[in-house]
Structure 1
Amino acid sequence: MPAPLRQIAYTKFRESLFEQSLKPGQFVSQRELCDLLDLPMGAVREALKRLESDGLISLIAQRGIQIADVNVRFINDAFEFRIIIESEAVRRMARNSDSSALNDLRNRTKSIIEQAETDSSAELFQAGLNVDLELHSLLMGAYSNELIHESYRLLEDKIRLIRLNGKYTSKRLKAAMQEHIGIIDALLDENEEAAVVALRDHLRTSWRRSLGQPEDFS
């Protein structure tokens, strides 16, 4: 059975957002959005209700639809929630780690670090992002709570928007991947406290970078 048009509109909006056809903070009209998504007004209006509930847009009277603005509050809210939810996830993973998946991810993470010595291509940065997302998704697999998984899905969208506002360098990519190695090694050792410390240090570094602060800030 074909997906309802409102679901198609919702999916195409998110694709446009992450492909940067729509920009954070941008204002658009419903008509402009219909033209961009190539969908009828009714489907777009239905999708807007869900997108507003998800925090990806705001409906502003007299001005139209504002795409989520990646400002200081947006960043702080996202990372504060992320640290809370992932800290418990990493604790659970340390108690019952999937060594096969972790070793495979470790090997691929090390490969990214080695390639970053001589490669600064967009393809390598995308590969690094994919490995990054995979580790955090693996951590969230420690939960069997559907409400938590849905909340994290919405959080991931916000983190993706924040990342689009930043710039990666080979140096930063290598540092992030090395932070991941620290998390993975602590999990493989089943060292719960070390895994939590490594995770929080990694997320706080990402938080500071997203705010444009020096990465050695404490």
Structure 2
Amino acid sequence: MNMPDADGLLLADKAFLALRDLFTGGGLRAGQFVSMPDLVKSIGLPIAPVREAVKRAESAALVRVLPKRGVAVMEATPELVRECFHLRTIFDQEGARQLVRDGVQGKLDTLRETHQRVLDAARSGITPPLQREAMAVDWALHSTLADALDNNSAREIYSRNRDRISIIQHSRPLLPDRIVPAMEEHLEIIDRIIAGDEERAAEAVRDHFRQTLRWWGIII
């Protein structure tokens, strides 16, 4: 029976959050196989809620359950990489347009400053902490674009797709040669939003998508 824990969360919910943390933190990587006993050990919860968490992850296409064997994490195939980043781009374009329409450009100042600081630091030299910060800053912009839609259905789809992209990203670390151009592309998006130019902001989002795929070796 799934009983709430001390924090009021059902054990299955807690197990799923822990499973997601393994994905987003790189504890489970694309294409990896893990047995159920090992997964239970990693999550630190009883097998019943872990099974429920795995079922939820399977319904979100994050894993495949192999009967009597274990769990296989989704593979970062070129087709899936293109599909996931394309879906994010669809939402990001509309989010950029919506931010312009809402006239909240001034609220992007802090986000812009953070990007510029990471870019300046990256130009001086890449360190592991800076790589981790760059990934967090990268997601901060995409989350801002998604939140601008203020649409719960879109937010749910975006969140699931973000989980898939997190697994994809950990299949290939954010290398130094991508940090500088990624920050520059993000700043272009932010600057076009601040300038109040819907179409050029959306165009900058599409350019970021093309450059991201090119970095993954996918030409469109």
TM-score higher than 0.5 here? yes
CA distance in 1, matches of 2:33, 2:141: 34
For residue 208 of structure 1, report the CA deviation from its aligned partner: 2.3
Q: Deviations over 1:104-132 (max 9, x none)?
A: 21122111111112221111112222221
SS in 1 for 2:75: coil
- The answer to whether 1:176 aligns with 2:182 is yes
CA distance in 2, matches of 1:106, 1:207: 23
Q: Which residue identity does 1:112 align to in structure 2?
A: V
- In the alignment, which residue of structure 1 is the partner of 2:35? 29
CA distance in 2, matches of 1:201, 1:10: 34
For residue 62 of structure 1, report the CA deviation from its aligned partner: 5.1
Q: Structure 2 stretches of 5 or more lacking a match? A: 1-6
- In the alignment, which residue of structure 2 is the partner of 1:56? 62
Q: Structure 1 stretches of 5 or more lacking a match? A: none
SS in 2 for 1:116: helix
- In the alignment, which residue of structure 1 is the partner of 2:202? 196
Question: Is residue 27–residue 67 contact of structure 1 (8 Å, CA) maintained in 2?
Answer: yes
Q: 1:21 to 1:131 in 2, by over 3 A?
A: closer
Identity %: 30
TM-score normalised by length of structure 2: 0.89
Q: Which residue identity does 2:197 align to in structure 1?
A: N
Question: Is residue 120–residue 169 contact of structure 1 (8 Å, CA) maintained in 2?
Answer: no
Q: Deviations over 1:7-29 (max 9, x none)?
A: 11111111222333322112222
SS in 2 for 1:143: coil
Once superposed, what is the RMSD of the aligned Cα atoms? 1.7
Report the number of matched residues.
Answer: 214
- In the alignment, which residue of structure 2 is the partner of 1:187? 193
Q: 1:92 to 1:23 in 2, by over 3 A?
A: same
CA distance in 1, matches of 2:54, 2:174: 32
- In the alignment, which residue of structure 1 is the partner of 2:20? 14
- In the alignment, which residue of structure 2 is the partner of 1:142? 148
